[in-house]
């Protein structure tokens, strides 16, 4: 069932690539130019998904800008907010991890 959910989530999020024009603000006041669309794998509570997002580059900062990553809260990570807030999985056999 989660595979179906991941597929639906991927389709929903893919509807917006984050492309906001040829030039976007990079943050420090410069302009970053659109370069291409780039793929990113993201782990979600429903399963892994892959998104194509607009990638821009600022020549002054010499840094990439991916607006969609910021919108989704996955800048610098491949783990969704829902996944990162989940507790670690419980071992199937808890006694197997007990000391002594």
Domain ranges of the chain: 2-79
Assess contact for 57 and 65: CB atoms under 8 A: yes
How much is the pTM? 0.78
pLDDT tens digit sequence for 29-62:
999 999 999 999 999 989 999 999 999 999 999 9
Q: What's the confidence (pLDDT) of residue 5?
A: 87
Dist CA 45 CA 59 (whole Å):
36
């Amino acid at each position: 069932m989660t595979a179906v959910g991941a597929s639906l989530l991927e389709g929903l999020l893919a509807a917006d690539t984050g492309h906001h024009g040829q030039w976007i603000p990079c943050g420090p006041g410069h302009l970053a130019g659109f370069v291409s669309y780039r793929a990113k794998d993201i782990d979600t509570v429903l399963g892994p998904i892959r998104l194509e997002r607009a990638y821009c580059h600022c020549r002054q900062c010499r840094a990439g800008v991916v607006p969609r990553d910021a919108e989704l809260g996955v800048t610098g990570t491949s783990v969704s907010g829902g996944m990162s807030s989940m507790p670690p999985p419980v071992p199937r056999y808890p006694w197997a991890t007990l000391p002594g």
